[in-house]
A and B are shown apart, each in its own frame.
Chain A
Amino acid sequence: MNYIPNFEYRKEMLKEIGVKSIDELFSDIPEKIRIKKLNLPDGKSEMEVKKQVTEILEQNKKFLSFLGSGIYDIYVPSAVKAITGRSEFYTSYTPYQPEVSQGMLQAMFEYQSMIAELTGMDVANASMYDGATAVGEAALMCSRMNRKKEFIIPGAISWEKKSVLRNYAKGAGLKIKEIGYDTETGKINLDELKNNINDNTAGIYVENPNFFGVFEDEIDEIKNIIGKALFVAGVNPMSLGIIKSPAEYNADIVVGEGQSIGNPMGFGGPLLGIFACKKEYIRQMPGRVIGMTKDTNGRRAFCMTLQTREQHIRREKASSNICTNESLCALSTVVYLSLIGPDGLEKIGRELVSKTKFLSDELNKIDGFKAPLFSSYHFNEFVIQSKNDINRIHKKLVEKGVDPGLVLTKQFPELGNTMLCTVSEMHSKEDLLTLVNGLKEVSHV
């Protein structure tokens, strides 16, 4: 296959330019740094490459997994891929010329609108990289708005998210404070939160459901506790068909990982950073935003707007450095949500709750296990505690072709032998029972 035309015109074009050889076009590169060739194998045919890459990828084993913590195995309807697979969309760039980019612009406006509907916020941006960087950007936004320098987070969030946040906070000199959780309920410790709020608190981040899959049902209290500090809510968008929108508990900014509404897991990327806020904060919001307007003929049209916040205009004073975002993943999400509709979203949420309850009840019956560890309502995941070495149990099950969940002994040693078990909409009842039976078998080894 040839992807590079013009070999046959090479001479004619060189003549037009007035040089004798291609090398002459590179004469401005100093001799001592020129190379003859790259030490890489020569190109291969499409057929060969496909065969080779397929063989490599087949070394991956996909099997029954109960992993989650932000990334969830979902069913992506075929129509989603049919739309995102249209090359008018996926081979376009950031819509700098709105007159020829109305399709993507309208789709992104619809994405922003749907995120606004889910979260109850007025506006969302057209995506950030992922849920973790969205938290980082939210912390910076809080500090920009009130010029305060402390940001409070729950200690119980994924360590990766904490690490990303710390990197985002570094440049602005933001101090990150962690709040513990109630060891009975797994919910954030509101007293500790209250004691840590001070005049220098820029904002606070709370996830609902939280890292342990527990619903923070006291979340209405938070806005009262934190006073003038800004409230950043972290959402699992799959839960927003059954639980209150963050607007209803007075969040100022909403962030979340949007992979689970329309995108495959992709071994952790690309993901979709959800970022929404109230309209009064819009000028401090990071990222690209699409607005509705008209064309010269008075017809409805769309374009990028509020660009003066962005790096290509504001440079070092921009609200963020983000340029390339996750538009195509946002497109998947808007098509996905249109296909499942509000009822579908509610149904997925309800089913996850009841399947999760079923699984934890069954696991709790096994001798030597406690599930769920926390006495609270759970969404799609829960902590399971074992009397025995959980790492060994985990390993044994993986050998049997089942990944029972994320082992928590490193991040939460205080919980003992625990694991975070996640239920997905892809799990059948048989799948859930396979885990139950598997754990029964290996629990005494």
Chain B
Amino acid sequence: MFRQARYDEPLIFEIGRKNTSKSERNNVVPEKISRKKLPEIPSLTEPEVVRHYTRLSQMNYGVDTGFYPLGSCTMKYTPKIVEEIAGFEEVNLHPYQSQSTVQGSLRIMYELEQMLKEIGGVDDVTLQPAAGAHGEFTGMLITRAYHESRNESRTEVILPDTAHGTNPASAHMAGFDVVEIPSEDGMVCLKALKNALSDKTAAFMLTNPNTLGIFEENVCEIAEAVHDAGALLYYDGANLNAIMGKARPGDMGFDLVHFNLHKTFCTPHGGGGPGAGPVGVKSFLRKFLPIPQVEYDEKKYYLNYDKPDSIGKISPFYGNFAVLLKAYVYIKLLGGNGLKNVAELSVLNANYMKEKLKKHYPLPYKNLRKHEFVLAGSELKEKNARTLDLAKMLLDYGLHAPTIYFPHLVDEAIMIEPTETESKNEMDKFIHAMIKISKNPLKNYSPKNTSAGKIDEIGAAKNMILSWKMFKEKK
């Protein structure tokens, strides 16, 4: 049975001796700017610090702890060798080191670009964006530069109502107005898209398979319509895991593609980051990619800054190198054949679970799904409970909850993505728990086997204690 550690662990500030008086030494900086009182960070010994954070780690659930079917997040197992290599001392280099002395790192980056080109079906790749949303923003800036280079004023970005929240936010940050179109049968409504497209449209952003786990079957017609309108087609790579080695965004007609290395290539998620969000483009957009681009002249690898049409920089250096290295190692381990197996097994697993669960929770829209599927929690409401209660009840089984309440077009949405690294045994346990809960969901459920009971999020928003400083002030 699942029992998460439950320590009454104090804040690290409450553990140690306080030592904030400034030592009686001479100032090494001008009096006007010298610090009179040391910052109030704790003063502790190593064992105290290590015990505190070890206990905290035991109050945290990761993929290594158990099943983590968070939809659209691709929480798969990361081979341990990946972490080990990223910790090598040869990785800890200053980014300004002379290029002749960092040939190993440049080679890794160059080769990773080649691999991503092949996987995405694109002509060039930048590794610079630090996350998926950062990649979207980069893609939108490239879109802007492209239309500007043609002296066209295109101000709108269209996206379907199933889009991740980052899509509209990224488009807006790049200065575009966002136009949302409704879905039809869980897919892009071609008619609505055509109506929305105009000479104002800069791009259409699409996730495929979409966030319902449905492959957009009309993707080729979508591409044609978007291109006919003079707009670009953008691929949100959050769900690439489902189609690797089976189909490529570039072949579908996408002009820009971002990859989420922390999802598809499990670099892993790090409690929320760091990630990496490389962007691939078709050749006609190549000249707009950020500088520098890693290139190879048959003798040496080098950083090419000589790109006058480039959008400039999106990160201070070359991207999250240590994360890129992890993705490189992962792709080397699996190879072309392995990546194809990843897609096949992730889709097999999702459809297996869907088949078992759809008798107990309504499955809106078509039956065949890719790597994830979305159930409706509407029948829980009839039993006076909600999807939120289901999520909290699952935690007590030692299972992480699925993504809930997204996408918005499914009532009480339950979005499940098992990934390829889960065994049938683990999935069966989850299925069993889901079925059991469907029969007797409990309203306002507070989990009992977790480190904390149900959290008062309303209290958190109302009282707003966001730091030790604010905590002391409230007291």
Contact = CB atoms under 8 A, between A and B. Distances in A.
Contacts of A345: 38-39, 41
Given A59-B104, A265-B93, A70 B333 contact: no
Contacts of A164: 312-316
Contacts of A222: none
A313 to B, nearest CB: 7
Contact of A93 (B83, B271, B342): B271
Given A33-B248, A63-B101, A312-B406, 18 more contacts: A13-B352, A17-B348, A44-B332, A57-B105, A71-B317, A77-B46, A83-B53, A90-B83, A100-B395, A103-B59, A266-B93, A294-B459, A295-B455, A311-B133, A316-B171, A323-B131, A324-B273, A398-B100
Contact-residue bracket for chain B? 35 or more
A318 B169 contact: yes
A406 interface: yes
A400 interface: no
A445 interface: no
A379 B348 CA distance: 58
A224 interface: no
B317 to A, nearest CB: 3
Contact of B105 (A60, A305, A406): A60
Interface stretch (B227-235, B420-428, B435-443): B420-428
Contact of A17 (B20, B85, B344, B351): B351
Contact-residue bracket for chain A? 35 or more
A93 B452 contact: no
B304 interface: no
Nearest to B422: A5
A71 B95 contact: yes
Interface string B1-43: 0001000110111000001101101001110111110111111
A295 B453 contact: yes
Contact of B92 (A32, A70, A266): A266
Nearest to B163: A315
A60 B79 contact: no
B46 A79 contact: yes
Given A60-B102, A240-B39, A322-B131, A99 B174 contact: no
B334 A43 contact: yes
A141 interface: no
Given A79-B50, A353-B29, A99 B452 contact: yes
Nearest to B115: A40
A32 B271 contact: no
Given A100-B61, A171-B175, A264 B92 contact: yes
A67 B96 contact: yes
Given A37-B336, A294-B456, A242 B424 contact: no
A39 interface: yes
Nearest to A239: B29
Interface stretch (A123-131, A175-183, A191-199, A427-435): A123-131
B149 interface: no
16 contacts: A22-B344, A22-B347, A37-B337, A38-B244, A70-B316, A92-B269, A164-B312, A170-B141, A240-B39, A244-B34, A269-B320, A292-B471, A295-B453, A317-B172, A341-B41, A341-B42
Interface stretch (A145-153, A155-163, A361-369): A155-163
B161 to A, nearest CB: 10
A227 interface: no
Given A30-B217, A100-B395, A62 B89 contact: yes
B131 A325 contact: yes
Contacts, number: 656
A389 B216 CA distance: 60
B246 A34 contact: yes
A172 interface: yes
A90 B62 contact: yes
Contacts of A73: 92, 94
Contacts of A325: 131, 272-274
B105 A328 contact: no
A167 interface: yes
Contacts of A4: 338, 341-342, 345, 420-421
Given A102-B59, A116-B468, A321-B166, A35 B248 contact: yes
Interface in B384-431: 391-392, 395, 400-401, 403, 406, 420-424
B56 to A, nearest CB: 4
A59 B44 contact: no
B464 interface: yes
Interface string A33-61: 11101111111101001101110111111
B63 A91 contact: yes
Given A38-B244, A60-B104, A16 B352 contact: yes
A65 B334 CA distance: 37
B321 interface: yes
B116 to A, nearest CB: 10
A6 B348 contact: yes
A296 B457 CA distance: 10
Interface stretch (B65-73, B189-197, B278-286, B374-382): B65-73
Contact of B40 (A9, A102, A117): A117
Interface string A257-298: 100000011111111000000010010000011111111110
